[in-house]
Structure 1
Amino acid sequence: MQPLISVITPSYNQGKFIRQTVESVLSQNYPRIEYIVVDGLSTDDTLPILGEYSNRLTLIAERDSGQTDAINKGLRLATGDIVCWLNSDDYFLPGALATVGDFFADHPDKLWLTGDCQIVDEASVPIQQPVRHYKRLLRSLTPSLYLGMTNAICQPATFWRRDAHAQLGYLTESLHFTMDYDWWLRLQTLQPPAILPQPLTAFRIHANSKGGNQYALQFDEDYQTFSRYWSGAPIRFLHKLHNRAITTVYNFVK
């Protein structure tokens, strides 16, 4: 039997993109979906749009202390065998949840999986293809490279068994940029992820993306997160070198 998949969407003032996000979940050709949207009392047209889907999703609209708090609220409400979160400016590709559900049904020993994702702009046009291919290459190698040297896991294309929370707790709410990386590293202590080559989702980069103009803070938090789980000098050196290279490239293209 295919597992019930719970999808959590943390939402705040993404009225420009929220309909595409919601439609991408509700239009999946998968019969067992629980969809929970946790909105922090958006002040744009997000809530009226979400209201149009009130009979097809669970909406929690209340103040929160940020994105990670909203995700945790959804995860604690979830009843699915498999869980994930999909941010309110990203979207699933057609057939994504059927691929995920079939994988977990066929591999009861696997705790979590991650797939590929497209990187798109505001108009959903694919961008940054070299970055995407580079991360795909890293994920074909050892976890010390795709989780140690850097975080090459695509967040919206990552799914795990809900019972992992009984062992590991929930997301670390003090983290604002790298709550996903911290969670991957905690999952990794139990089992490396299964890697799927096919794209499951689209990750959107736009003018108001969280990391767009706060990348220095993001890299600081990234290294602090990394340091909690990796102590070897060689991998620490590689992680620092990799972050420095990315920052240099980012400054150049900016």
Structure 2
Amino acid sequence: MLPSISVITPSYNQAKFIRQTIESVLAQDYPQVEYIVIDGLSTDNTLPIIRAYKDRLILIAERDSGQTDAINKGLQMATGDIVCWLNSDDYFLPGTLALVGDFFARNPNQLWLTGDCQIVDQLGMPIQQPVRHYKRLLRSLTPALYLGMTNAICQPSTFWRRDVHAQLGFLTESLHYTMDYDWWLRLQQLQSPAILSQSLTAFRIHAESKGGNQYRRQFDEDYQTFSQYWSGMPIRWLHRLHNQAITSIYQFVK
């Protein structure tokens, strides 16, 4: 029997992209989808766009303390067997939920899975292909590399069983950039993820993306998050070296 799936979208002032995000969820050929959008009282045209789909999703529009708070509100409301979050500038590829639901139905003991994702620009055109292939390579290796040396997990392409929240709680709301990385590391303490080779989603990078012009703060928070879960000196040294290399590349290309 196919599991039900809950998708949570945190939203704030994403009128440029939110319609594609919503339609990518509603267009999924899957029988049991609960779609929850948590909007922090957007001041642009985001809310009118969302309300146009009010009969096909659950909308909560109220003030929140940030993205992580909004995601947690959705996760706490969710009733699906499987849950995920899809940010309001990303989108599902066709057939994603069918593939995910089928996998969990065939693997009842698997707690979470992650797949590949396309990296796209504001127009939806593929970019950063070397980065994508590098992360795919890491995910084919050991968790010490794709979760220890760096976070090579595609956030929008990651799904887990809702009942793990009874054991792990919810996302850490003090984290602004790495709430996903922290969550993967907590899930990893229970079980390594199943790795799917298929592209499930598109992850969008644009001028307003959080990591685009705040990468130094992001890498500082990344190392603090990593340090809570990995104590061995070789992997700590490797993680710091990797962050320094990526920061140098950012400085060069910006």
| TM-score bracket, shorter-length normalisation | over 0.9
1:219 is matched with which residue?
A: 219
1:170 is matched with which residue?
A: 170
C-alpha distance in 2 between matches for 1:93 and 1:242: 30
C-alpha distance in 1 between matches for 2:134 and 2:59: 37
Q: Which runs of 5+ in 2 are unaligned?
A: none
SS state of the match for residue 192, structure 1? coil
- List aligned pairs for 1:135-146, cutoff 5 A: 135-146=135-146
Question: What is the CA distance between 1:151 and its match in structure 2?
Answer: 0.1
C-alpha distance in 1 between matches for 2:141 and 2:65: 37
Q: Deviations over 1:117-168 (max 9, x none)?
A: 0000000000000000000000000000000000000000000000000000
1:113 is matched with which residue?
A: 113
C-alpha distance in 2 between matches for 1:85 and 1:51: 19
- List aligned pairs for 1:36-185, cutoff 5 A: 36-185=36-185
Question: What is the CA distance between 1:200 and its match in structure 2?
Answer: 0.0
Question: What is the CA distance between 1:12 and its match in structure 2?
Answer: 0.1
C-alpha distance in 1 between matches for 2:250 and 2:30: 39
The one-letter code matched in structure 1 to 2:209 is: S
Question: What is the CA distance between 1:33 and its match in structure 2?
Answer: 0.3
Q: Which runs of 5+ in 1 are unaligned?
A: none
The one-letter code matched in structure 1 to 2:194 is: A
Question: What is the CA distance between 1:99 and its match in structure 2?
Answer: 0.4
C-alpha distance in 2 between matches for 1:209 and 1:14: 11
SS state of the match for residue 189, structure 1? helix
The one-letter code matched in structure 2 to 1:106 is: R
C-alpha distance in 1 between matches for 2:204 and 2:110: 28
The one-letter code matched in structure 1 to 2:104 is: F
Q: Deviations over 1:81-119 (max 9, x none)?
A: 000000000000000000000000000010000000000
Q: Deviations over 1:40-64 (max 9, x none)?
A: 0000000000010000000000000
SS state of the match for residue 10, structure 2? strand
SS state of the match for residue 163, structure 1? helix
2:8 is matched with which residue?
A: 8
The one-letter code matched in structure 2 to 1:141 is: L
C-alpha distance in 1 between matches for 2:246 and 2:29: 38
Q: Give the structure-2-normalised TM-score.
A: 1.00
1:199 is matched with which residue?
A: 199
**% identical aligned pairs:** 81
C-alpha distance in 2 between matches for 1:31 and 1:163: 21
C-alpha distance in 2 between matches for 1:105 and 1:23: 25
Question: What is the CA distance between 1:224 and its match in structure 2?
Answer: 0.1
Question: What is the CA distance between 1:70 and its match in structure 2?
Answer: 0.0
Poorly superposed stretches of 4+, deviation over 4 Å: none
Q: Give the structure-1-normalised TM-score.
A: 1.00
C-alpha distance in 2 between matches for 1:84 and 1:192: 17
RMSD: 0.3
C-alpha distance in 2 between matches for 1:80 and 1:247: 39
The one-letter code matched in structure 2 to 1:97 is: L
C-alpha distance in 1 between matches for 2:211 and 2:15: 19
2:241 is matched with which residue?
A: 241
Q: Deviations over 1:13-59 (max 9, x none)?
A: 00000000000000001111000000000000000000100000000
Q: How many residue pairs get matched? A: 254
